[in-house]
Each structure stands twice: as C-alpha cells, then as structure tokens.
Structure 1
C-alpha cells in the first residue's frame, strides 16, 4: 500500500456534507479511504467518483500512480494518414492530462507516467506536468514520447527543473523523493541531468533513450545511489564517468565513448554494444575489471559488409576482442545484426571464456531479403573447448542459413549437458516481416534435433 503524507486541512476539505451512509466502506475515515484509493489504478480511482458524493470529493486527492496512456490509440497513431485527425487525437490527449493535473489537490503522488508521441508543440503543457510531478514528490517520473512522426521536434526538459529539485518550498531539509527517471525521445542537457544526479539522493533507476543533446554523464566526485543505468541511442554522448557503489545493472548501446565506471562492486548485469568497425573492443577493455563478478552479459553489435562484397558468398568471421575469464557468468546474450553469409564462429571465444555458463541466447537479425540458401559449406572450429555447464540454448530470429545453422550446430555438439534448445522464428526487431520460407526454416531447425544429446528437448516457436 502506498504511503502518502496528508495535510489535516486537505482531509477536512474532503469531508462529505450531509447524507447518510448505509455502506460500511463509506463510514471509514478519509485517511483509510485514501490509502485504499492509492492501491487502485488512476482510471479505477477516477471511476469511484461516480459512486457517491464522498468518493467524488476524495478523487482530487488521489495519491497513487498517474499513468497516462492509451495502448489502442498509441498503436493506431503509427498508421494514421489523416494529419488533421492525428493532431486532434494528440490535442485531446494533452487536454485530458492537463485536466487531471489541474484538478489535483493533494500534497503527494506516487508516480507520474506519460506514454504518447508528443513533441515540443506542447512544451508549455508538458512543463506544467513535470513541475507537478516534482513538486508532488513523485518517486517515479516516466516520459515516453517516442514519436509517431520522425520529423517531430523533441520536447526539452526545462531549466526550471534544477530550481525545483534544489528547493521548491524554500525548505532547507526538503529532498526530492525521485527514485526512477525514465526519458525517451526527450532532449535533456548535460547540465539538467547533473541537477537530477546531484539533487536526488534516492535516484536508483536512470533510463535515457534517444536524447539528442546529452554529451556526458559525469559524477565521479561523489558516489551515486544509482542501481540501474540504461542509456540507448544518445548520438551526442561522448563520456560516462561515474562512481556508483550501488550499481547493479549497466546498459549502453550507441557509438564509441569514453567509459569510466568506478567503484562498482555490486555490478552483475551488463548490456553493451553499438555499431561501426570497432563496436565493442573499447567497452570490453573499460569493463574488464568487473568481468569476474558478472552474472549476465548482453553484447549488441552491428557488423555489415559494405560495397561490392555485399552480394559475395564470403565468410566474414566476427572476431571478438580477447577477454579475461567470465568466471561467474550464468547467462550470455548475443544480439547481432549481420549478413546471412557471415559466420559467427568467432564468438565462440567469448562463450568459452564463461566456464559456468548455463544459458546462451542469440538474437540474430539478418534482414531477411536473401534467398534461403545454405551459402556454402558449414565450417567447424578447430580446438574448440567443451561447454560443459550449458543447459539452455535460446535462438531468436532463426532462418536456417549458414550463419545460424553453423553456430547452432557447433554449440549443440559442444554442450554435453544441454537440456533445452528453443528456436524462435520471429525475425528480431522486424516482427511484422513475414518469412516466406518458414516451412524450410522449420525443416532445418528440426534437423538440429538429430544431433541433440539423449534427453534434450527441442522447442520451436513461431
């Protein structure tokens, strides 16, 4: 049950005047009713206002999670061709959020979430929402503005955030309650983010996706309370330098940056990657001090051949940089974008560096525009070691070409303790693209079952 501080004057103003309550629930003190209401979703709490006058008076003091999204509308907006209809739909959404925010009379809210493809067209409205969330002491602020139209200009967090975080009520002892900050397709400057990092002592979860003006994250002078740091597709980001003794998970996907994470003894889950000619070597070097304590590692990489070679039947091995032993790693996930004629055997080096690995996941995207061919003879990797602890192999985006058959065959033969192989034919990140050769892909996947050890199970998923 959510906890919230209530001003005595607020509670008195919620008292119902007149009428007799036959319902035992309505006889409860307002403090109890507000606590009950805090366990409801925002829409459920709003609907209680139609029950009777007393509940209608309590609704403006709702202390729970303000979650503004319409899944049906969000999905439909991506296929809307009528711009006028699209604009009206967005305007209605903004009006709805502003109405709920403006009528709120309580002192606190638990969380504030908005998921809709908004732009800076509504800057003034969104500014008020952010002020509302921060001044009401929200523990979680989520702004997911992934656009339906790429040309939309991003909303930018205002400078006034810094003043609000420092002292909104001129109370020296006041500290922001924010624990989670999630920003997607929002412009956030280095200066404003610094304010959040240094003014929010309880901030544990920071997720920034698609910010176009963030250049650095630097907080090495004093330790942060961050437990989870996720950064994705921030093209202007050049440097991360933090001291994070509480950090458990770190995720960065983007261009090469200067990476310096200090004093992170609890770090156990890492996702790292990007694109280019040297997508992960720098990150492996920067994080090598933490390899021995990792339990989960996800490597994301995009490596494509360029020029005339794009149509050639050439094996291009994706050799990973040398790594120290990942002695405690239990789950390794490889997210790879590649051509179907490339080979993944170079990644075996990384897999063999994990002596207690129990689960291996491969998410493969090969842009399914090529004929379903085996693309030459499958290779064998010489002097390969045994994967003695591996119990589960999960393959997402399986098509049945050389690139995936070769890799899967090698792993299955070397994993003597393998218990389960899961093959998912859904094309990773392109789930709406139909695989015209699905029957052939299934047949080749079933062929892998012939080399499984006795007792191992093969599961096919579409």
Structure 2
C-alpha cells in the first residue's frame, strides 16, 4: 500500500515536470532532506526506485545510492516477462544484476539475492558477493534454488559489520584460517533441505561459526541430518532458538538465557526421558515454548516415560504451544503433565491434536487431577474429536486452573453429527471448574460455521 502511494506520487511529479503549464510551481520533492529521500526509495521495489531518475537531474542518480539492494524473486519474476528461452532469461538476469551492482554508489547495509534454479555462473555469484561485502553490508540474505547448492565464497567471512545473516540452500566451505568471527551478528538463519554425505563437515563448520558470534541473539536452523549427528550450540547471549529437521541430539553449552524456543525436531535421543529431561533442565529462563509434530514422532516407537517433573523446572515459562500432539498416546500425555508440573507460572496454553492417524480409545489414559496450574488464564484446544483421553484432559484443565479466564475448544471437522456434538457439550457442562469466572467457547467448523459460548453462570 505504501509502495503504491509513493509510485503514484512519483508518477504525478514526473507528469508535473513534463507539463510546461505548471513549470513555475516549486519543485518540493527535490528539496526533501536526504534521509527522507532515501526512506522513500527504500519503500519501493528496486525497479520502481530506478524510475525516479526521470523526475529531474536532481533525482537522476539518487536510486543508485540506496542502501538496500533487494534482488529477490519479485525482481526475477519481472525479468521472466516476454522471455521463453532459458538462455535469454539467464543473460537478462545476469545483465540486470550486473547493471544494478555496477551502477551502485556508496554503502550497502541490506543485500538480498535470489539465484534461480538454472543459474550456473559461480564466478558472477562470487563477484557480486565480493562487491557487496566490500561496501559494509550489515543484513545479508542469499536464497539459492540451484542443485547442487552453491558454496559460500570466502569473501562473505570478511564482513565484520554483519548483524543479520540468512542463508537458504547454501553450503559452508571450511572457514578461512584467519576468520575471527562475526562480532556484531545478532541473527543467523540457515536452511538446507538436502541430505548429503558431508553433513558432518557442515555441522562442524556451523558449530564453529555459532561459537564465533559473541552477540548472537536469534538462531533459526532448518536441516535434514543423519540420525547419528549431534549439534552443539555455544552462544551465551542467545535468546531465541528455532529448529526443525532431524539429528541425534542437541547440546546447549553455556546457552542458558534462551527466552523463546521452537522445536520441530526428530531427535532420536529424545526417545529416552533422561536426555529430554537433561535438555529442558538447561532452559531456566525460557518464557515461550513451541513443540511441533516431529518431537512426538521421535518418541512414537519408544517406551518413553517422562519424569513427573524435570530436574530443574521451567520457572519462567508463560506460553506453551503444542502442535500435532497425539493425545491418545501415553508418552505424549506423560510429557504434557510433566511440562505442566515443571511450569508453575504458565499463563497461556495452545494444544493442537494430531489429525494424521486413526486413533482409538481402547486403553483410556488416567490423568492425575491433584496438581494445580495457578497462573493459567487462557487455553486453546484445536482438533478435538471427543475421544476419552481428550475429554479427560479438558476435565483436568478445568479442575486445576483457578485463574482460568477463557477456554476455547475447536472441534474436529470429522467429529460426527449434531447429536454427537450436543452430547459432548452437555457432558462438558457437568465438569467441575476451579475458576468461577471461566468462559468456555466451543467452535465447530462445518459448511456453516457455528460457535457456542458458555458463560460462567451456565457452568456452575
């Protein structure tokens, strides 16, 4: 929206310049402060920013001094227009990027580069990175759609001012011998979906890289490793950790100030309660925890039995989100209760039941109703189908949450007819509640969406 408004302003100013009738009118846009001019240009896609060169001689080279070079998929899509042959597209893409980079003057603080799948020119890629790195880049993003993935040129590791580094489908060469780290890097994101024979080398380089970023605050990793691979993360100031993929185990060494943790991780050693307990006990300051489906998959075929409480509790955990959890399985309920018992300050709970497999109620799961969740205020349950274990969980949460303000229950689309839903609702009305002010909202998605709200007075 902002971009369209700015383009409209530029077009109108361009028309104004051409019109002789209004030649005497003051050219206000050319007298804007330099920082305002740059902010306008940075709100525009690069090609639109280049159009400002027609406004006046004052604007002719302004776009070339923009501190953001965003050569993303949107730019690539515009190059594809009216070109059918891969050779023509490749030449046009290379020429466009070369022209932009060669025309640029001044520092570059943000650089985004998308490499299409057919882009074979390793030399040009290295030259572009070298130029950008020589101009003080701080935010650096490369998305490589090529196969096999390209190795990052060594020139990248000379960028001492980097604060944000995003690498999608890129691979690491061994770090240069003189590499001292990224002293200013606060955010690192690395995604590689491929499964290769040099995973061990990539893990080693990644571990070393992380350990050489003393200011690192946010780390996002997405990969597919062999089950025998371990990952050690040493980042004393790390506050946000997001991981998805598969590996054997993850070790946090001196990384004790994490506040937000999201795991969609098939970690084979999590099949043993001791390893999981040891891992969560290293997170004394985590405030928000997200566990997704691969965590449960790692425990599915094991005899996992969670301890009643972790060795060191999650004494600051306020928000817990569990996605695709198999509520019919003993191991998941066991871990769930352990998380409750280990997190006395928990305020917000989100649970999404697994929908990917047929479940049964052959072995009802008994839930201990003796514990108290003193701070729990908001609960969201998604994909509830009325199974006995799910009903027991709802009953437990209502009975053990004296501060509860709202519980939202979204029923599974395949739960059954209106009679089954009505039976579920009437059963729910009978459950004892620890909170006299709790509001229960039941949502059901059908062809015509319906929701029911049960105010506290109706539940007494």
Asked if TM exceeds 0.5, the reply is yes
The answer as to 2:105 corresponding to 1:102 is no
Secondary structure in structure 2 of the residue aligned to 1:410: helix
Match of 2:238 in 1: 247
User: How far apart are 1:211 and its partner, in Å?
Assistant: 5.5
**Secondary structure at 1:177 match in 2:** coil
Secondary structure of the equivalent of 2:262? strand
CA contact 1:296–1:330 (8 Å) conserved in 2: yes
Please state how far the C-alpha of 1:46 moved relative to its aligned partner.
Answer: 3.2
Show the 5 A alignment for 1:286-305.
286-288=278-280, 290-300=282-292, 301-303=295-297
CA distance 1:354–1:260, shift in 2 (3 Å)? same
TM-superposition CA deviations, 1:184-243 (whole Å, max 9, x none): 222234x249987x4321111111122544222334976721111222224159344454
1:165 aligns with 2:184: no
State the TM-score, normalized to the length of structure 2: 0.69
Report what 1:411 is aligned to.
397
2:91 and 2:389 map into 1 onto residues whose CA distance is 49
Contact 1:42 1:64 in 2 (8 A): no
In the alignment, structure 2 segments of 5+ residues that lack a partner are: 1-22, 446-460
Assess if the C-alpha contact under 8 Å between 2:241 and 2:260 holds in 1. yes
TM superposition shift of 1:385? 0.8
Question: CA, structure 1 residues 345+126, in 2 after alignment: closer, same or farther (shift >3 Å)?
Answer: same
Contact 1:255–1:279 (8 Å) recurs in 2: no
Contact 1:362–1:396 (CA under 8 A) maintained in structure 2: yes
Is structure 2 residue 371 aligned with structure 1 residue 385? yes
Give the Cα separation in 2 of the matches to 1:165 and 1:354: 41
Which of 245, 257, 271 lines up with 1:266 in the alignment?
257
Q: In angstroms, what is the RMSD of aligned CA positions?
A: 4.4
Q: Deviations over 1:52-105 (max 9, x none)?
A: 34323221222135252339969xx9xxxxxx9796897599458625633432
CA distance in 2, matches of 1:22, 1:194: 58
**Does structure 1 residue 176 correspond to structure 2 residue 179?**
no
* Per-residue Cα deviation, 1:379-407 (whole angstroms, up to 9, x for no partner): 33135412221111123444554564443
| Structure 1 residues 203 and 359: CA distance shift in structure 2, 3 A | same
SS of 1:46's equivalent? helix
Following TM superposition, by how much is the alpha carbon of 1:26 offset from its aligned partner in structure 2, in angstroms? 1.1
The residue that corresponds to 2:73 in the other structure is 69
Deviations 1:19-48 (A, max 9, x none): 99941221357x456534454233453342
- Name stretches of at least 5 consecutive residues in structure 1 with no aligned partner: 1-18, 78-83, 167-174, 308-315, 427-434
Paired positions, count: 398
Rg larger for:
2
TM-score (norm 1): 0.69
Map of 1:188 onto structure 2? 172
Map Cα deviations across residues 278-315 of structure 1 (whole Å, 9 max, x no partner): 436576455455332221222341328989xxxxxxxx
Are the equivalent residues in 1 in contact too, given 2:406–2:439 (CA < 8 A)? yes
CA contact (8 A) 1:223 1:243 kept: no
